[in-house]
Chain A
Amino acid sequence: MPGDQVLIRRPLLTLRQRDNIAGYLFVLPWLIQFVVLIAGAMIFSFVISLQETDLLTGFEWVGLENYRNVFKDAFFWKSLRVTAYYTFLVVPLGVALALTIALILNQKVALLSFWRLVYYLPSVVAGVAVAILWSWVLNPRFGLLNAGLRAIGIQNPPRWLYSQTWAVPGFIMMGLWGAGGAMLLYLAGLQGIPTPLYEAAEIDGANRWHRFWRITIPMLTPTIFFNMLMSIIGSWQVFTQAYIMTGGGPNNATLTMVLYLYRKGFEHLRFGYASALAWLLFFIILVFTMMIVRSSQSWVYYEGELKK
């Protein structure tokens, strides 16, 4: 009988082999993504960066010429300064603001869910609509911000997006308006700190100040670290604001790196040059990521490492 034979026959594959096959079938979507759209594209991106090409009419091999030209390009250095300036202000200020709100909200305030909603809603709306809103908020004559500044007695408020000095600070304010996302993360982190820690410290005579610096902050460092890393990576890639609100102006005061890359590639059709810019951006982000990760060993506290 055929049924009996099936029972006797040993399985074609061992359990381990079957798991290997199943595993690869499950991760197949990511494998395709990685091989074609990430690794393949990266290699190709590097090859393009060694060419002069508009992608349509042809490719001309120029070796490292694009990279050499980038370093001689005043616009590149300008975009690097603009983006660095933005990142180094918006990231620490964002961490400080989000942490402050989270700490206040963690003090058993009434109407917690109302406050939380008000603070985090601006962070979920992003993109073009917000950029348009803020380009009006920052309008020197009719804008909300200057109306507010005049109302508190500032006679000559900055011209924001029309001023080389104040355009990036305008972007930073818009960025801080979205601090609510990080605030949620910190709030969750604060609520995860076990209360016995505080009770023990109180018995040992630690005052509020000590409890804050010796318990709250150390216990929160993993969250701060994660959030800082993500926002540094994101800030280096700032694009939509610059594209919509200022187009990089005035006088390139808001020419961010990705805006410059976009312009070189998709407007001037110099895709080789743009690819070289992309690789330099990647390199910069990599350096900062490594620095943060390195530094984390001295300031990020993980519970599991206590007894080392």
Chain B
Amino acid sequence: MSLPTHMQAKVQERVGTTDWQVIAWQAARISGKVIAYAVLSLGAFVFAIPFLWMLSTSLKPEALAYNVPIIWIPPKLRFSTYVEAWKLLPFAKFYRNTIFITLVNIIGLVLSSSLVAFAFARIRFWGRDVLFLILLSTMMLPSQVTLIPLYLFWTQLKAVNTFWPLIVPQWLTNAYNVFLLRQYFLTISPEMDDAARIDGAGWLRIYSQIIMPMSRPALGVIAIQAFAWNWNNFLGPLIYLNETPKFTVAIGLRLFQTQQSQKMPETMAMSIAALVPVLIVFFFAQRYFIQGIVITGVKG
């Protein structure tokens, strides 16, 4: 077995490397790693520190919160700020409202988007491709264009100050979710539903007993995104809800900020209270969510 001459030369070159070359090469590798970890740690510090500062500030008495330089760990942690601030506005009510809207919308969005996506992925019906093109083009439309007519629409229906304007549109799907789910459904082999069809199953059965159970990761991603979006939604509630007992956490917090704007510990405490549900959900759903990004996001 003989190698071509130029490869022989290369092998010799490798074998013939002196110790200091190996050392230099190793050193470069290790220093590269060190730099990578240093950059990562510095970046992580910068990304995490606003959260830590927020937590620290919320647990400080007023007098220490404005101290320069920052006192990171106060001599005594003051948890009562949370209790006192919570009572300044009906926050419990805001939470109930937000949880209600969010849950209802997650169900609505998952249900409607999957039904529509299923039809676009599986059923051959007249005009399907044209309709799908229209759906894609609506993804670009900024919601501000339809904001004012929809506001007028809901005013005419006397639905301002109810949750209907925040719920109904999501029960009627959202183009982005339909798009993601369709992409996912297309990756499921059609052989199974062909077999089911031969056995006499209707589309609804194929949807509910084959496609849906096989799409849990993608449905999970949609549910999590719907959760975060609804929890954080600001412009919708700002426009449609104008009585305090109907408020969501987002606009309740805004109201709190306008009333207590000069009190840093209080506004920080209530901001944390508003963030915690999202952080918890994403912390526990992390693996699921990242898996979903791999499935649905890349081919986007």
Cβ of B233 within 8 Å of any chain A Cβ, yes or no, is yes
| Min CB–CB distance B43 → chain A (angstroms) | 6
| Min CB–CB distance B143 → chain A (angstroms) | 8
Tell me if A29 and B150 are in contact (CB < 8 A).
no
| Min CB–CB distance B268 → chain A (angstroms) | 7
- Given A20-B125, A104-B36, does the pair A48, B145 have CB atoms closer than 8 Å? no
Cβ of A206 within 8 Å of any chain B Cβ, yes or no, is no
Interface centre among A20, A121, A124, A244 (most CB of B within 10 A): A124
Tell me if B65 and A142 are in contact (CB < 8 A).
yes
Tell me if A237 and B144 are in contact (CB < 8 A).
yes
A118 to B286, CA, bound (A): 11
Tell me if B203 and A22 are in contact (CB < 8 A).
yes
Q: Which of chain A's residues have a CB closer than 8 A to the CB of B267?
A: 132, 136
Tell me if A41 and B153 are in contact (CB < 8 A).
yes
A266 to B240, CA, bound (A): 11
Q: State which size class the interface on A falls in.
A: 35 or more
Question: Chain A, 235-246, contact with B by CB distance < 8 Å: what is the 0/1 string?
Answer: 011011001100
- Given A42-B146, A278-B148, does the pair A125, B279 have CB atoms closer than 8 Å? yes
Cβ of A62 within 8 Å of any chain B Cβ, yes or no, is no
Question: Chain B, 271-295, contact with A by CB distance < 8 Å: what is the 0/1 string?
Answer: 1101100110011001100100110
Q: Which of chain B's residues have a CB closer than 8 A to the CB of A41?
A: 145-146, 149-150, 153
Name the contact of A37 in the complex, choosing from B172, B207, B231, B279 (C-beta under 8 A). B172
A271 to B144, CA, bound (A): 12
Name the contact of A132 in the complex, choosing from B149, B253, B299 (C-beta under 8 A). B253
Tell me if B254 and A128 are in contact (CB < 8 A).
yes
Tell me how many residue pairs across A and B have CB atoms closer than 8 Å.
244
Question: Which residues in window 106-128 of A have CB below 8 A to B?
Answer: 107, 109, 113, 115-119, 121-122, 124-128
A41 to B282, CA, bound (A): 35
Cβ of B138 within 8 Å of any chain A Cβ, yes or no, is yes
Interface centre among B147, B169, B286 (most CB of A within 10 A): B147
Cβ of A154 within 8 Å of any chain B Cβ, yes or no, is no
| Min CB–CB distance A100 → chain B (angstroms) | 8
Q: Which of chain A's residues have a CB closer than 8 A to the CB of B231?
A: 127
Name the contact of A281 in the complex, choosing from B33, B119, B142, B294 (C-beta under 8 A). B142
Cβ of A285 within 8 Å of any chain B Cβ, yes or no, is yes
| Min CB–CB distance A283 → chain B (angstroms) | 10
Tell me if B293 and A29 are in contact (CB < 8 A).
no
Cβ of A286 within 8 Å of any chain B Cβ, yes or no, is yes
Q: State which size class the interface on B falls in.
A: 35 or more
A130 to B267, CA, bound (A): 11
Cβ of B212 within 8 Å of any chain A Cβ, yes or no, is no
Name the contact of A285 in the complex, choosing from B37, B131, B140, B153 (C-beta under 8 A). B140
A151 to B250, CA, bound (A): 34
> In terms of DSSP, what is the predominant structure of the interface of chain B?
helix
Q: Which of chain B's residues have a CB closer than 8 A to the CB of A27?
A: 115-116, 119-120, 131
Tell me if B271 and A188 are in contact (CB < 8 A).
no
Q: Kindly report which residue of chain A lies nearest to residue B297, judged by CB atoms.
A: A185
Q: Which of chain B's residues have a CB closer than 8 A to the CB of A26?
A: 115-116, 118-119, 123, 203, 207
Name the contact of A147 in the complex, choosing from B51, B69, B150 (C-beta under 8 A). B69
Q: Which of chain B's residues have a CB closer than 8 A to the CB of A261?
A: 144
Tell me if B293 and A142 are in contact (CB < 8 A).
no
Cβ of A44 within 8 Å of any chain B Cβ, yes or no, is yes
Cβ of B152 within 8 Å of any chain A Cβ, yes or no, is yes
Q: Which of chain A's residues have a CB closer than 8 A to the CB of B57?
A: 136
Question: Which residues in window 19-37 of A have CB below 8 A to B?
Answer: 19-20, 22-24, 26-27, 29-34, 37
Tell me if B286 and A127 are in contact (CB < 8 A).
no
Q: Which of chain B's residues have a CB closer than 8 A to the CB of A141?
A: 66, 68
Cβ of A177 within 8 Å of any chain B Cβ, yes or no, is yes
Tell me if A289 and B253 are in contact (CB < 8 A).
no
Query: Knowing that A233-B140, A237-B144, A271-B148 are A-B contacts, what are 14 other residue pairs whose CB atoms are under 8 Å apart, sorted by A's residue number?
Result: A19-B124, A30-B116, A38-B146, A45-B148, A105-B40, A109-B36, A113-B287, A128-B271, A137-B53, A142-B68, A180-B47, A275-B149, A278-B147, A285-B142
Which residues in B have some Cβ–Cβ distance to A below 8 Å?
A: 33, 36-37, 39-40, 43-44, 47-51, 53-54, 57, 65-66, 68-70, 112, 115-116, 118-120, 123-126, 128, 131, 134-135, 138, 140-153, 155, 169, 171-173, 175, 178, 202-203, 207, 228, 231-235, 239, 250-251, 253-254, 257, 264, 267-268, 271-272, 274-275, 278-279, 282-283, 286-287, 290, 293-294, 297-300
Q: What are 12 A-B contacts defined by CB distance under 8 Å?
A: A27-B131, A118-B44, A121-B47, A122-B47, A128-B251, A129-B250, A133-B50, A142-B65, A147-B69, A188-B293, A274-B148, A278-B148
